[in-house]
A and B are shown apart, each in its own frame.
Chain A
Amino acid sequence: MIIAAQKSMDEILRSVKPFEKIAVAGCGTCVTVCMAGGEKEALKVADLILLDARAFGRKVEVNVTSPVRQCDMEFLDDVEDELADVDCILSLGCGAGVQFMAEKFPDKVVVPGINTSFIGVNRDLGYWTEMCQGCGNCILEKTGGICPVSRCSKSHFNGPCGGSHTGKCEINDETECAWQLIYERLKRIGQLDRLYEINEARDWSTSRDGGPRRLVRGDVKV
């Protein structure tokens, strides 16, 4: 799932300040689950915008909407009428949602209310970690199901750097060394021999390095 964090209210207030008719748009999918930009957060942000405007004697109208997904035109069509009159949309969707919103409403100002952070998992209440960078060529079968691209600070493919110590990454003690995890897991599932294979330089063209990516599937096209 996509993990995100809300921007500071200061930053949000600064970007919506020039506008009188504002819509705060939550998104019902990933950012609802990670509590950064769902309907609940959208209502709260709307209240704070109103409070701030009142404190400074400015007049604003703020409405709140929360499509099921901002990354699907179908659901943006549903909110079209609702948002027809506003001049600024503060989207609490991920980066994809914000941009799709801007495509849907080409004449309105659309600004982001959250920082899209990573593809990750929820490990505990209020604790998420990165698991994948969408490299476009998954190699988890070689690494015991632990991703070296996103979880090793140096994206190493052939074992740990010299900074790995007591299972921690050299960058700080809160970060587990991905290669320590890979080693333990491969050992556990009887695949330690995988570590001896030299993984040659990889082809990053399937990743962002090949330019913005597209996926076309003939089988689902109509």
Chain B
Amino acid sequence: MGNETNKEIVNIRSNLQKVLEAGNFSVSAEIGPPMSGDAQNVIDKARHLVGIVDAANVTDNQTAIVRMSSIAASYLSLQNGVDPVVQMTCRDRNRIAIQSDLLGAYALGLRNVLILSGDHQSFGNHKQSKNVFDIDSVQALHGLTKLMKENIFMSGSPLKAPIEFFLGTTANPFADPEELQIIRLEKKIRAGARFIQTQAIYNLDRFKSWMEHVRERGLHKEAYLLAGIVVNRSVRSIEATAGVPGMDVPLSLIERMRATKGKEEAEAEGVAIALDLIKELKEVEGVAGIHIMAIGWEAIVPTIVEKAGFLPRPKV
């Protein structure tokens, strides 16, 4: 690699961070890496999102099912014009691997990192595996922030050349008890999270009450809160979402889907529900962006972003 290329890579900055820091309402989506080594799959998903979103999360063996590595798929996304958010779980890596993988991610020009605990492996297809959990997500955020700000590794030894990431994590507005969850969110922010993506929101009343607590503690001013939504394309899909622990889907929304006839109507209603949610969410004080999770229906994202009036995306 020539000197020029290296300089170019060092100069890369997170698009998501620039969009948010310039005061824009951000729009992001997800790229689920394939259960194979098929690069084209990632490239196609990324190309659909060029100019449509500010960033895309590239999941890390979500629900503990083995897929292409988040860092490799993130690199493919970057090369194809979409700013990736590398997801990194504490389930599969100890502090040595987390730091090492992220140095590699930085070298490839990846700038957004989302730290997660990771779904327990008992959910996935390798239930027999051992988990790691050397550190938890607060400890990972804390350690990585020190690595960036003070140039020291979690061991205390020095980092030779500085790195910079836009660090984020997740929060679930519907997990209980609320007080404990808010304390934990505050801790994650103090540990260095600059943006927070929420669990999928369907129950607006509960989300709004959660946001009140978030605002009471001023947390919305310390990190960018990106509200998550899931787009469902069928009755089966919304029912399955409702069955996931920690999800709160009001019956009225499920009924809306049930009232439809045929695939086309159901899909149109799924989009309509998503648009209704977005419309309300973007008015909630303290919400800095929207994060669209169209699991298994990635191709619908451009339609939603357009219909929600989010185009064109800011050039920053």
| In the complex, B139 has a CB within 8 A of chain A | yes
- Residues of the B chain whose Cβ atoms lie less than 8 Å from the Cβ of A202: 139
Given known A154-B131, A198-B187, contact A162–B136 (CB-CB < 8 A):
no
Contact A162 B180 (CB under 8 A): no
Q: Which residue of A lies closest to B91 (CB)?
A: A154
Consensus secondary structure, chain A interface: loop
A174–chain B nearest beta-carbon distance, Å? 12
- Residues of the B chain whose Cβ atoms lie less than 8 Å from the Cβ of A155: 133, 136
Interface size band for B: 35 or more
| In the complex, B267 has a CB within 8 A of chain A | no
Contact B245 A154 (CB under 8 A): no
A163–chain B nearest beta-carbon distance, Å? 6
Contact B177 A180 (CB under 8 A): yes
Complex partner residue of B180 from A153, A166, A179, A200, CB under 8 angstroms: A179
- Residues of the B chain whose Cβ atoms lie less than 8 Å from the Cβ of A153: 120
Contact B180 A163 (CB under 8 A): no
Q: Which residue of B lies closest to A197 (CB)?
A: B187
- Cα separation A157 to B119 with both chains bound (whole Å): 17
A115–chain B nearest beta-carbon distance, Å? 16
Contact A198 B133 (CB under 8 A): no
Q: Which residue of A lies closest to B198 (CB)?
A: A162
Given known A183-B180, A196-B183, contact A160–B139 (CB-CB < 8 A):
no
CB-CB contacts below 8 Å: A193-208 with B: 195-196, 198-202, 204
A203–chain B nearest beta-carbon distance, Å? 10
Contact A163 B184 (CB under 8 A): no
A101–chain B nearest beta-carbon distance, Å? 28
- Residues of the A chain whose Cβ atoms lie less than 8 Å from the Cβ of B246: 162-165, 170
- Cα separation A156 to B199 with both chains bound (whole Å): 19
| In the complex, A171 has a CB within 8 A of chain B | yes
- Residues of the A chain whose Cβ atoms lie less than 8 Å from the Cβ of B183: 159, 195-196
- Residues of the B chain whose Cβ atoms lie less than 8 Å from the Cβ of A183: 177, 179-180
- Residues of the A chain whose Cβ atoms lie less than 8 Å from the Cβ of B293: none
| In the complex, A161 has a CB within 8 A of chain B | yes
Q: Mark A97-135, 1 if CB is under 8 A from B, else 0.
A: 000000000000000000000000000000000000000
Complex partner residue of A162 from B134, B142, B175, CB under 8 angstroms: B175
Contact A201 B142 (CB under 8 A): yes
Q: Which residue of B lies closest to A169 (CB)?
A: B120
B222–chain A nearest beta-carbon distance, Å? 15
- Cα separation A85 to B216 with both chains bound (whole Å): 76
Interface size band for A: 20 to 34
- Cα separation A170 to B175 with both chains bound (whole Å): 11
B30–chain A nearest beta-carbon distance, Å? 16
Complex partner residue of B186 from A157, A165, A196, CB under 8 angstroms: A196
Contact A158 B138 (CB under 8 A): yes
Contact B245 A170 (CB under 8 A): yes
- Residues of the B chain whose Cβ atoms lie less than 8 Å from the Cβ of A161: 117, 137
Q: Mark A176-220, 1 if CB is under 8 A from B, else 0.
A: 000110010000000000011011111010000000000000000
- Residues of the A chain whose Cβ atoms lie less than 8 Å from the Cβ of B119: 163, 170
Q: Which residue of A lies closest to B171 (CB)?
A: A162
- Cα separation A179 to B177 with both chains bound (whole Å): 10
Contact A154 B120 (CB under 8 A): yes
- Cα separation A161 to B184 with both chains bound (whole Å): 9
Contact B95 A201 (CB under 8 A): yes
Given known A164-B175, A164-B176, A198-B138, contact A159–B143 (CB-CB < 8 A):
no
- Cα separation A161 to B119 with both chains bound (whole Å): 9
| In the complex, B172 has a CB within 8 A of chain A | yes
CB-CB contacts below 8 Å: B165-186 with A: 170-172, 175-177, 179-181, 183-184, 186
- Residues of the A chain whose Cβ atoms lie less than 8 Å from the Cβ of B137: 158, 161
Q: Which residue of B lies closest to A166 (CB)?
A: B176
- Residues of the B chain whose Cβ atoms lie less than 8 Å from the Cβ of A199: 138-139
A120–chain B nearest beta-carbon distance, Å? 20
Given known A179-B180, A180-B180, contact A162–B139 (CB-CB < 8 A):
no
Contact B139 A195 (CB under 8 A): no
B4–chain A nearest beta-carbon distance, Å? 38
Contact B117 A156 (CB under 8 A): yes
B185–chain A nearest beta-carbon distance, Å? 9
- Cα separation A96 to B15 with both chains bound (whole Å): 57
Contact B245 A196 (CB under 8 A): no
Given A157-B139, A170-B245: 16 more A-B contacts, CB < 8 Å: A154-B91, A158-B137, A160-B175, A162-B117, A164-B246, A165-B176, A167-B176, A171-B120, A172-B122, A195-B184, A195-B187, A196-B186, A198-B187, A199-B138, A201-B134, A202-B139
Task: Give residues in A with beta carbon < 8 Å to B.
Answer: 153-167, 170-172, 179-180, 183, 195-196, 198-202, 204
A and B contact pairs by CB, cutoff 8 A, 10 listed: A154-B120, A154-B131, A156-B117, A159-B187, A161-B117, A162-B172, A170-B120, A198-B187, A198-B190, A201-B135
